[in-house]
Structure 1
Amino acid sequence: MSHAYDYHVHSNYSDGRFLFRMARAAEEAGLDGVGFADHCNVSARESMQRAKRHLGFNLDETYERRREAIDSLQENFDVTIFDAVEMDYDPRDEAAIADFLDAADFDYAVGSVHHLEDVNVHVESYFAEKDESEREALVDAYYDTLVSLVDSELFEIAAHVDLLERNPVLRGYATEDHYERVAAAFADSRTVPEINGGRVLREYGEFHPAPSFREVLDAHDVAFTVGSDSHDPEALRECTPVLTEFFEESGRDPVRVVE
């Protein structure tokens, strides 16, 4: 890659480390640009409001303060810092998301499907109680929601498009039909999926999307952008060369989302 960009990292404005430490790590990793895409949810549903209170994810209320911090940090680091957001997506919240993104005017927006039945897909204990047919229906619902996310045209980037593969209880239920539907949606949308390195060096040990999913996306000529999904400086420093190597070896040219 002639220029190295990472459009998906987190800071202390959601569940990552201090902004200045993440910016320093991006500079040390040799990145030309790094995007702070902190978690944000604007749903009015009580279950989502409760989760926000428990987790302290309040970027919808603090993004202007973070923006001021990004502007001041930009003077101190030799890396372009982007002011972005990772929005939780649910079709029921489209109007609220659209209004918020229009008002906030981020450099770009990342959309993510993090929940099934208003439960985070990482919660293994909840989904372990489901029987086989219920799990199949939940995976169907995940990919239905992902297609809706892409069709909504609300986001520049779709994050970790097979996130549920991180959960061993839900892993392996996705089918080629799921992948085909998502790939067709991307082919007709401005939204670009990312090669996400958030678990490639951890227990899952694979990029998102997984190879079988990438093959279908490639067949539809869907391009990718880059996101390490790093939450701490060490992860950012370690993941950057792995992502760079992936794009160099695959011959892919990552999409430049913003200059």
Structure 2
Amino acid sequence: MDRDYHVHSTYSDGRFLFQMVRAATEAGLAGVGIADHCNVSNREEIKEQKHQLGFNLDETYERRREAIQRLREESEVEIYDGVEMDYHPEEEDAIRAFLGEAEFQYTIGSVHYLDGVNVHVEPYYAEQSESDRRAAVDRYFDHLVALIESELFDVAAHVDLVERNPALRGLATERHYRRVAEAFADSPTIPELNAGRALAEYGEFHPSPAFLDVLAEYDIPITVGSDAHQPEEIGERHPHIDRYLEARGIEPATLSL
């Protein structure tokens, strides 16, 4: 692969833009997409978390765009102006309005929150009964299918994000996978192969091998994102990504930018 569409910077929870771009260049990439976290929710619990984390790309995207343009003038690698937008079905109008105004080169949609709680928060879900945890996984995939059907995004990120949470891991089923694959088959939105936890405790890419098998049955194209937040993660993850793509016989899709 020669393009990475999912890299973060200090405009959300990554490192300096120039560091991420330099790392992409050193890794031999032809293109790197800066897709910082963004949220336009008016729900109080989400706004509070947004303020705590310092995610404000909805207010700083123009400044970041200027910084990207300056880096383009001196960089050997193509730099793409993207976004990773938190999605909730009730917020489609606000998301659509913001994306129409911001005019990013490409958009990634993500489901991070269920009932105002990030799916990464293991203690919250670990305290729930198995039936409640299964219901949470059902809601996650309901939201993911709605994201795909909204056609607001070019890419859907880490499409089985619940697997990162040990309390939710293993509860997704083939039924979930097929619902998602059928939604992708009828949508311009495509999934990504996400390496965010491939070298960490989880030890797998998103989507999981079984999920990827189902997507392949439906001939769903897939793009690639390292989900790097630190410069060194780009160089560490890309050889692993390349080996996995080759082993699976996957030719990653290139976004038309």
**Which of the five TM-score ranges fits, normalised by the shorter chain?**
over 0.9
CA distance in 1, matches of 2:245, 2:204: 14
Residue 234 of structure 2 aligns with which residue? Answer: 236
TM value normalised by structure 2: 0.98
Residue 90 of structure 2 aligns with which residue? Answer: 92
1:24 aligns with 2:22: yes
SS at match of 1:11: coil
SS at match of 1:64: helix
Farther-moved stretch of structure 1 (238-247 vs 168-177):
238-247
CA distance in 2, matches of 1:100, 1:187: 26
Residue 146 of structure 1 aligns with which residue? Answer: 144
Q: Do the aligned partners of 1:198 and 1:228 also contact (CA within 8 Å) in 2?
A: yes
Give the superposed CA RMSD: 0.8
Unaligned runs of 5+ in 2: none
Which residue identity does 1:174 align to in structure 2?
Answer: A
Unaligned runs of 5+ in 1: none
SS at match of 1:160: coil
Q: Which contiguous aligned blocks of 4+ residues in structure 1 show a shift greater than 3 angstroms?
A: none
1:145-184 matches, cutoff 5 A: 145-184=143-182
1:81-119 CA distances to partner (integer Å, 9 max, x unpaired)? 000000000001100000000000000000000011111
1:115-153 CA distances to partner (integer Å, 9 max, x unpaired)? 111111110111111111111111100000000000000
SS at match of 1:6: strand
Q: Do the aligned partners of 1:111 and 1:158 also contact (CA within 8 Å) in 2?
A: yes
> Residue 133 of structure 1 is aligned with which of 110, 131, 134?
131
1:153-198 CA distances to partner (integer Å, 9 max, x unpaired)? 0000000000010000001111111111000000111001000011
Residue 64 of structure 1 aligns with which residue? Answer: 62
Residue 247 of structure 2 aligns with which residue? Answer: 249
Structure 1 vs Structure 2: percent identity of aligned residues? 61
Farther-moved stretch of structure 1 (120-129 vs 147-156):
120-129
- How much has 1:250 moved relative to structure 2? 2.1
CA distance in 2, matches of 1:171, 1:206: 12
> Residue 4 of structure 2 is aligned with which of 3, 6, 26?
6
1:207-226 CA distances to partner (integer Å, 9 max, x unpaired)? 00001111111111111000
TM value normalised by structure 1: 0.98
CA distance in 2, matches of 1:175, 1:254: 25
CA distance in 1, matches of 2:20, 2:37: 15
> Residue 199 of structure 2 is aligned with which of 183, 198, 201?
201
Which residue identity does 2:77 align to in structure 1?
Answer: V
Q: Do the aligned partners of 1:107 and 1:258 also contact (CA within 8 Å) in 2?
A: no
